[in-house]
Amino acid sequence: MRWLALGAGLALVTVAFLAGARVADTREGLIYEVVTLLAGLAGVSLLLYGLVAALGRQRPLLQAPNVRASADEKVHNAAELAVGASGLVVAAILLAGVSATAGVLWAMLGSILLLPMIAGCAYLCISFVRGPRREWKIDLRSLVSHD
């Protein structure tokens, strides 16, 4: 199934590029523009689905046993701090760029749109700082695991 999705996605992206070459300011050109946008969207979606399905099937052969701490003693690792801080830096760069190019009002709108990202990154940083147990090693697997 994933190879079919990858092939169909690649074909649709190719159709999008070919239709993009025929976009013009005519009725026919507008139809090609719609074909470009929809084929590109569907093609990229299928490519991502095929790649994620291909990567999702690869499991490590040997897994370490899960050692769980009690619910009260969650160990926070430095990856939480790194992800949170880098997210705040990205948000600050985006807001500075918008305010420099578009103005303060657009920066305020951008800050409203980025508010969930800023809140999540700030939560990661604060939970690491206030956590009772911290490890200063970066373990990204603990952030992406669903256990």
Question: pLDDT (tens digit, 9 = 90+) per residue, 4-60?
Answer: 887 888 888 888 888 888 788 788 888 888 888 888 888 888 878 877 765 655 555
* Same domain? 130 vs 84: yes
Tokens of 66: 């899960």
* Same domain? 139 vs 80: yes
Within a domain: residue 64? no
For residue 42, give its domain range: 2-56
Q: How far apart are CA 110 and CA 94, in angstroms?
A: 8
Within a domain: residue 61? no
Within a domain: residue 69? no
* Same domain? 135 vs 78: yes
Q: Counting beta carbons within 10 angstroms of the beta carbon of residue 22, is it exposed (0 to 12), middle (13 to 18) or buried (19 or more)?
A: middle
* Same domain? 47 vs 80: no
Residue 78 neighbours by CB distance under 10 Å: 14
Which pLDDT belongs to residue 115? 92
Q: What is the mean predicted confidence (pLDDT) over 116-130?
A: 88
* Same domain? 51 vs 80: no
